[in-house]
Amino acid sequence: MIGNTLSIPVHFEAENRTVWGKCEFLNPSGSIKDRLARTIVLDAEARVVLDAKRTILGCTSGNTEIAFAMVGSSSGANMAAALRYATALSKEAVVVTILCDRAERYFSTRLFNGSQ
């Protein structure tokens, strides 16, 4: 599913030009970052640097973290997330939901800043 998104034409009458755009929001997590995560995980598996004994540690705060959690979990890889304090609660909730489903590790710097 990742990357097999539609291309749609967007026509600009005044310039008489058509530009084709990819609908990356149709990727499973809704982001182009799914392509990045899939490529990195598949490459690591192919080079045998990612296996059941190793863990992907994601240290971003947004769509990349969500994509790594999704791709890592679906590939069977171990995944741990370290989200920074400024991560939006909605994005944090998505990562937690994905990772908790597989009983993997989740870290949030909110725990260390004394913030709610």
Residues 33/16, Cβ–Cβ less than 8 Å:
no
What is the maximum alpha-carbon separation in the chain? 58
DSSP the chain: -TT---EEEEEETTTTEEEEEE-GGGSTTSSTHHHHHHHHHHHHHHTT--STT-EEEE--SSHHHHHHHHHHHHHT-EEEEEE-TTS-HHHHHHHHHHHHHTT-EEEETHHHHT--
Q: What is the pLDDT of residue 108?
A: 54
Banded model confidence at residue 105, pLDDT cuts 50, 70, 90: low
Residue 72, domain member (yes or no): yes
For the stretch 14-60, pLDDT in tens is 999 999 999 988 888 888 888 998 998 889 889 888 877 777 877 77
Looking at the structure of the chain, the number of domains it has is 1
Q: What is the pLDDT of residue 110?
A: 55
Q: What is the pLDDT of residue 18?
A: 97
Q: What is the CATH number of the domain that holds 74?
A: 3.40.50.1100
Residue 43, domain member (yes or no): yes
Question: Which residues constitute the domain of residue 47?
Answer: 31-113
For the stretch 87-100, pLDDT in tens is 777 777 777 777 66
Residue 11, domain member (yes or no): no
Please give the structure tokens belonging to residue 104: 């993997």
Residue 63, domain member (yes or no): yes
Comparing 1-10, 32-41, 71-80, the range with the smallest average pLDDT is 71-80
Say whether pLDDT at 8 is over 90: yes
Say whether pLDDT at 104 is over 60: no
Residue 50, domain member (yes or no): yes
